[in-house]
Amino acid sequence: MSDDELIWRIAGGSGDGIDSTSQNFAKALMRSGLDVFTHRHYPSRIRGGHTYVEIRAADHEVQSRGDGYNFLLALGDSFARNPQEEAFYGNEEIKPLSENLDDMREGGVIVYDEGLLSEEDVAELDLEKRAEENDWHVYPLDLRSLAREHGREVMRNTAGVGATAALLEMDLEHIEDLMEDAMGGEVLEANLEILHEAYETVRDEYDFTHDLRAPSGEHEREQALLSGSNAIAYGAIDAGCRFIAGYPMTPWTDVFTILSQNFPDMGGIAEQVEDEIAAAALALGASHAGAKAMSGSSGGGFALMSEPLGLAEMTETPLVLVEAMRAGPSTGMPTKPEQGDLEHVLYTSQGDSSRVVFAPGNVAEAYDQTRMAFHVAYEYQIPVIVIYDQKLSGENTNVDVSFFDREPEPTLGSTLTEEELREAAHDASGKFQRFQHDVEDGVSPRSLPGQKDGRYLATGNEHSPVGHISEDPDNRVYQMERRLEKLEAIREELDEEHDSQQTYFGDETADFGIVTWGSSQGAVEEAVARLNEQGHSVKGVGVSDMMPFPEAEMTEFLESVDEAMIVEMNATAQFRGLMQKELGRYGEKLSSLLKYNGEPFEPAEIVEGYELNVDGADEEPTAQVRIEPAAGD
C-alpha cells in the first residue's frame, strides 16, 4: 500500500460540523492539484453519535475510499459531553479516537483533542504501546482551548485543520480562500486566527517524527468537486427536466433537495408532496401535460411507486425515477449503502411490465446516464429508472469542469407539434390514433392536452389505438407486442448509436474477469489495476445497463475469460442472478464476492477475493465479505 497518497480521516460527533469541515478540506486538496475521493460514515441520527469522513487525495486518479487510512484527526464528540436529562446519547467522548484505530495504516499520524478527550480514557486505550507496534505518530493537542481562546469552541475543527496543514507541510492558501468564500466578519476573523495559531504552534513547537507529507500534484484543467447526487441532479437539469415531485427519504433526499433548491430560479417546479405514490403520480401528471419530469425515492418509498410506474408504462407516458438504495429489508440501515434493490427495481409492478434501468458506476457516469435516462424516457415513452446507492450518493470526487460544458437537451422526444398532429391518423370520430403509429421501434408519437387535433384517452387499462378500454384479443396482442418491442429498439440504440455505457478496464488479454455494477465499480477498478501491477492478468467491467441487458457485450466478455467473479454489495447475488437469467448460461464460470455489512468494498478486499478464488484457498476471507462459488463447484 503506497503512501504517496493521503487518506485523512476526521472523526467526531455528528452535528459537530465534521461534514462542512471535510468538504472544505477536500476542496483545498483538490485546489492544490490533487485528485480526491471522499467517503462519509454516519450513524442514523442527527446529533451526537460517532461519525467520520475520509478524504483520499493523491497525485493520480482515485476511484474509491482506498484501504485503511493514514491520518486521523480525532476531535471528540461534543454531544457526548452534555447529555440532557432522559436523552440518550450513549457515546463516550473517547470514541472518535478509540473507534478509529483499527484501520489506521502503519506509519500513520494521529492528532487528538486533548481538550475534549480525558486523560484516563486515553490511558485505557494503550495508545503508546499500539503506536509503537504500528509506528504511529501521535500528537495530542488542546484544540478546544485554542478555539475557545480566539473564538468559540465549535471552531476546534478549524484548529484541527490548521494542525493537519502544519504536520503535512501544506500551504494554508487554499484553506484560507475557502474560508473567505464561506464566511465573513468576525466569524471569519476568528477562524483565520485559530487556523494560523494552530498551524504555527504545531510547526514551531513540535518535533515531527513522521514521514507522511501531503502529496503534490497539478491539474491541467479546472476541477469541480461533486457527489453522485449532484451529478444526477445536474444531468436532469441539462436534460431539460424542470419538474420534480418527491417525499424525503435517505439517501434520495439529496437529489430531491438539490433540484428543489435550483428549480425555482430556473423557472421549474418542485413539489414536496404527501407520500411517494403521490410523488410518482405528480411526475406522471406533469409529464403527461408536457413537462420533463422526474421523481424518485429509496427502497421503501420506491415500493409505493410501483403502481404509478406501471401506469406510466401502460399509458406510455415518459417518466424518470431515481432509486437511491440503502441497506434493507424494510427500513434496514437508513444511512448505509447496499446494492440490494436491484431485483425490486427490475421487476416491481404487475403484469409483463418493462422499464429501462441504468446503474451508473461513478459521478461522471451518474451525470451521463441521467441524461440518457431522459433521452430514452421521452423518445420511447417508457419509464426509466436510475438506480444508485447511498455510497455514490454521498461520495465526492473531482471532475473536470469542462465535462459539464454540454448543450442542454430540452426536447420532448417523440411528441408531435400541432402541425404534425393535423397530418396524423385519426379515427372516424376525429380522435387521434395515439397508440397506433406502428413504426419499427414500437414508438407511437404522442400529443399533449391542450393541443388541437390530438385528443385521446390515456388509460392504465388495455386500450385501443385511440385509448378506449379494450379487451379485444387481437388488439391486446398488438399493443403488448408494440410496448415490449421498445426494449429491443432501445437496446439497439444503446449498442449502435452511443458508446457503450459499460466501463471496461484491466488487461484485455486476461482470462480472469471481474464483473461489477453500480457504485462498486471504483473499488473494483482499483483492485484490477493493483492485481495487474502485481503480475496477475485480470480484466474487469462495470455494467451500467441493467435493463435492457447488454447481452452481446456481456457474452463477448464472458466468452473471453475462463472464470469471472462478480462483485456486488448484497447477500443474495442479485446481479449474478440477472446475468444468468439474461444470458442463460455461464453458471459454471461465475462466482460471487459479496459484502453486505453496510460498508462499501475496499480494493484490498477484492484483491483478496481474487486470490481466494484463483488459489482455491478454503479459508474464508478476513473482511466481512462472502465468496459464493460457481455453480457446480
Supply the minimum distance, in Å, between the C-beta of residue 429 and another protein: 3
CA distance 521 to 519: 5
Amino acid at 304: L
Supply the minimum distance, in Å, between the C-beta of residue 575 and another protein: 30
Supply the minimum distance, in Å, between the C-beta of residue 427 and another protein: 6
Q: Which is nearer to another protein, 151 or 268 (CB)?
A: 268
Assigned C-alpha cell, 31: 485546489
Q: How many CA atoms lie within 13 A of 414 on its CB side?
A: 22
Contact between 492 and 440 under an 8 Å Cβ cutoff? The reply is no
Q: Which is nearer to another protein, 456 or 505 (CB)?
A: 456
Residues present in the chain in total: 633
CA distance 246 to 233: 13
Q: Which is nearer to another protein, 22 or 230 (CB)?
A: 230
DSSP character at residue 85: T
Supply the minimum distance, in Å, between the C-beta of residue 440 and another protein: 25
Contact between 58 and 35 under an 8 Å Cβ cutoff? The reply is yes
For residue 452, give the 3-state DSSP assignment: coil
Q: Which is nearer to another protein, 209 or 402 (CB)?
A: 402
Supply the minimum distance, in Å, between the C-beta of residue 542 and another protein: 23
Supply the minimum distance, in Å, between the C-beta of residue 416 and another protein: 10
Contact between 56 and 6 under an 8 Å Cβ cutoff? The reply is yes
CA distance 306 to 586: 32
Sheet-wide strand order for 243-246:
269-272, 243-246, 293-297, 319-325, 383-389, 356-358, 545-547
Rounded (10°) CA dihedral 100, 103, 107, 113: -10
Contact between 577 and 592 under an 8 Å Cβ cutoff? The reply is no
Supply the minimum distance, in Å, between the C-beta of residue 284 and another protein: 6
Amino acid at 147: A
For residue 99, give the 3-state DSSP assignment: coil
Supply the minimum distance, in Å, between the C-beta of residue 164 and another protein: 22
CA distance 549 to 584: 12
Supply the minimum distance, in Å, between the C-beta of residue 395 and another protein: 14
CA distance 432 to 424: 7
Supply the minimum distance, in Å, between the C-beta of residue 322 and another protein: 16
Supply the minimum distance, in Å, between the C-beta of residue 92 and another protein: 37
Contact between 14 and 53 under an 8 Å Cβ cutoff? The reply is no
CA distance 468 to 460: 10
Q: Which is nearer to another protein, 56 or 292 (CB)?
A: 292
Q: Who contacts 224 (Cβ-Cβ below 8 Å, separation ≥6)? A: 398, 399, 400, 401, 404
Q: Which is nearer to another protein, 133 or 275 (CB)?
A: 275
Q: Which is nearer to another protein, 188 or 304 (CB)?
A: 304
Rg (CA), the chain: 27
Assigned C-alpha cell, 103: 484501520
Q: Nearest-5° angle of CA 485, CA 491, CA 493? A: 105
Q: Which is nearer to another protein, 178 or 614 (CB)?
A: 178
Contact between 20 and 181 under an 8 Å Cβ cutoff? The reply is no
Q: How far apart, in Å, do the first and last CA atoms of the chain sit?
A: 33
Q: Nearest-5° angle of CA 424, CA 425, CA 427? A: 145
Contact between 176 and 192 under an 8 Å Cβ cutoff? The reply is yes
Read off φ and ψ for residue 372, nearest 5 degrees: -65, -35
Supply the minimum distance, in Å, between the C-beta of residue 350 and another protein: 11
Q: Which is nearer to another protein, 143 or 319 (CB)?
A: 319
Q: Which is nearer to another protein, 111 or 280 (CB)?
A: 280
Supply the minimum distance, in Å, between the C-beta of residue 404 and another protein: 5
CB atoms within 10 A of CB 63: 21
For residue 526, give the 3-state DSSP assignment: helix
The continuous run of DSSP H or E covering 74 comes out as strand 69-74
| Positive or negative: CA dihedral 378, 382, 383, 385 | negative
Read off φ and ψ for residue 566, nearest 5 degrees: -100, 125
Supply the minimum distance, in Å, between the C-beta of residue 461 and another protein: 7
Supply the minimum distance, in Å, between the C-beta of residue 283 and another protein: 7
Which of 518, 458, 445 lies closest to 486, judged by CA? 445
Q: Which is nearer to another protein, 284 or 554 (CB)?
A: 284
Q: Which is nearer to another protein, 201 or 411 (CB)?
A: 411
Q: Which is nearer to another protein, 407 or 633 (CB)?
A: 407
Contact between 11 and 76 under an 8 Å Cβ cutoff? The reply is no
Supply the minimum distance, in Å, between the C-beta of residue 231 and another protein: 9
